[in-house]
Amino acid sequence: MTTLYAQKQTSIHIPENEIGTITFSSKVPIKNIGIFIYDGFNTLDAMGPYHILSQIVGSKVFFISKRKGLVRNQTGMEVKVEKSIDEVNHLDILVIPGGARETYLHTKDQSLLDWIKRIDKGSVYTGGVCTGGWILGATGLLKGRNVTTNWYRAEEIMKKYGANFKPERYVRDGKYWTSAGVTAGMDMSLAIVNDLMGNQYTQAVMLDLEYDPKPPIDGGSIEKTTPEVKRFMNRLYDGIFTPVMK
């Protein structure tokens, strides 16, 4: 197996005996991709986009936090972060993963929101995964835009930020990308790759990942979940979020 992100050049020529030459290049140069993480972030919200976006040729993907050092995900796994927000002044792509209580608290962190807005001024794309869209919404950057986010109280919460919730797997509105919960961040990231690199390159990334999901049962969205399970999950999320959202 070879991974495309191992390539450092900005374009790749792959000669093929039967179909001639396939040329891959990005329509916009993408050099620096930052994923902002914080204690309590959801693992796949960050790691899925990290892996997929790492395969954009010529790019470097790295984690950023408010402070350098170890950052713990929602289950206690530690990730070493070598860049703080004070050290990062420009990104071509910024991605903000979601989480739970900690995510909501970050919607009230004015220094973080100000940093996101500064980065957004020079970014090619700015995106939020799952409840990471709440943080992005709190900056005011999504006002009047179509967005998606985690299913929990989605329309209510995004309306508070002046955004129009769409029950989609991912949504693009201008330079802004948002995804539904957790695994949807991978689909969003593939859509970003496709927008930059085209269908053939995206297929190459998907084949490298063998990304062809086939879950054992129907589920994973509001539409495919039974009422009993939806009620249970709503009560579970209420217990997590209600104490900090009062």
User: What's residue 14's pLDDT?
Assistant: 54
CATH number of this structure's domain 4-218 = 3.40.50.880
Whether residue 209 contacts residue 215, with contact meaning beta carbons closer than 8 Å, is answered with no
Ordered by start, the domain boundaries in the chain are 4-218
Q: List residues with catalytic annotation.
A: 130
Whether the predicted pLDDT of 41 surpasses 50: yes
Whether the predicted pLDDT of 81 surpasses 80: yes
pLDDT band at 17 (very low <50, low <70, confident <90, very high): very low
Mean pLDDT, rounded, for 17-33: 76
Tokens representing 182 are 């957790």
Q: Which of 49, 33, 94, 82 is nearest to 191 (CA)?
A: 49
Q: Which long-range contacts (CB under 8 A, 24 or more apart) does 143-150 make?
A: 145/173, 145/174, 145/176, 146/171, 146/173, 147/171, 147/173, 147/176, 147/178, 148/178, 148/179, 148/180, 148/184, 149/98, 149/178, 149/179, 149/180, 149/181, 150/98, 150/180, 150/181, 150/182
Mean pLDDT, rounded, for 70-96: 97
End-to-end CA separation in angstroms for the chain = 50
Tell me the whole-structure pTM to 2 decimals: 0.92
Q: Which of 196, 175, 211 is nearest to 48 (CA)?
A: 211
